[in-house]
Amino acid sequence: MDDSYILKNVEQVRTQVQRALSRRGRPADAVRIIAVTKSATADVLPLLADAGILDAAENRWQVARDKFEHPAAKRFEWHFIGSLQTNKVKYIVPRFDWVHSVDRLELARALSQEAVKQSRTLNVLLQVNIAHEPQKHGFFADDVRAVAGEVAALPNLVLRGLMAMAPKVDDMEETRHVFRAMDELLLETRQTLGLPQLTELSMGMSEDYPVAVEEGATMIRVGRHLVGHPGGAKEE
Ligand SMILES: *Cc1c(COP(=O)(O)O)cnc(C)c1O
């Protein structure tokens, strides 16, 4: 199959993002489009970069490792978005610029220790289980303020914001209140703790990113709609 599907995907997602931003009067550069490459092979990397997508995300170290062998991997800022065991942080810290999935204090402490050891600075987001789903990782909203205070004080980590995954629904409108609650939680946490750098809201995936952008997302994590083949052969 020819490679032009990536460029078409990118254009489509960009158009949707721009429309959602302008519906809310948000600036055109308010959202970073992050390509989730977990289900694609490394040869999508130069295609994405050529199309101007310069942020990529992986959710498992074992899969990410192979992507980093590709020369085009250097063109990206890398985001880790999966559940992470503390014994893997030594691999994540040197290769990733962001970790969106900090879901327990123990993990934040391990990342901080490793970042100090490797003289790196890592941007982190707290993962929030905003809809209290039993099968999902993340802090409950009520705990975010206390946790954010502790994480913000850890050396070599910069706490930049919050991340959430919306419950799976058929109609993306049903997720709007969840995204709105995240936006309010971010604002409240930033103000009560006096943390001006707490500006990032990572939310919105292939099925719901337009609503997430309307409700304040600053980073969207798009997999299938960016790297999936139109025919569906490459979709999960
Ligand atoms: C896979 C994944 C995505 C992307 O999902 P799509 O539905 O393919 O867009 C986003 N966020 C996380 C945490 C993921 O694991």
Ligand 1 atom with minimal separation from the 206 CA: 9
Report the pLDDT value the prediction gives residue 231, as an integer from 0 to 100.
Answer: 63
R_g of the chain computed on alpha carbons: 17
Confirm or reject: Cβ of 205 under 6 Å from ligand 1.
yes
Confirm or reject: Cβ of 83 under 6 Å from ligand 1.
no
For residue range 139-159, what is the model confidence (pLDDT) as tens digits? 999 999 999 999 999 999 999
235 lies in a domain? no
Q: ∠ at Cα 48 (46, 54), nearest 5°? A: 100
Confirm or reject: Cβ of 79 under 6 Å from ligand 1.
no
Q: What is the number of domains present in the chain?
A: 1
Ligand 1 atom with minimal separation from the 59 CA: 15
SS3 content of the chain, % helix, strand, coil (to 5): 45, 15, 40
233 lies in a domain? no
Which of 15, 53, 30 has its CA nearest to residue 217? 30
For residue range 176-230, what is the model confidence (pLDDT) as tens digits? 999 999 999 999 999 999 999 999 999 999 999 999 999 999 999 999 999 998 7
- Band (pLDDT 50/70/90 cuts) for residue 232 is low
Owning domain of residue 177 = 4-227
- Which CATH number goes with the domain that contains 207? 3.20.20.10
| 27, burial (CB in 10 Å: exposed 0-12, middle 13-18, buried 19+) | exposed
For residue range 105-144, what is the model confidence (pLDDT) as tens digits? 999 999 999 999 999 999 999 999 999 999 999 999 999 9
- H or E stretch including 15? helix 4-23
CA of 9 to the centre of ligand 1 (A): 16
* Contacts of 30 by beta carbon, 8 Å cutoff, 6+ apart: 21, 218
CA of 119 to the centre of ligand 1 (A): 30
Confirm or reject: Cβ of 9 under 6 Å from ligand 1.
no
Mutate to test the pocket of ligand 1, among 10, 32, 36 (most ligand atoms within 8 A of CB): 36
234 lies in a domain? no
Confirm or reject: Cβ of 161 under 6 Å from ligand 1.
no
82 lies in a domain? yes
Ligand 1 atom with minimal separation from the 236 CA: 8
Residue written as tokens 């939310």?
203
Tell me how far CA of residue 28 lies from CA of 14, 19, 55, 150, 208, in angstroms.
10, 9, 17, 33, 19
Ligand 1 atom with minimal separation from the 209 CA: 9
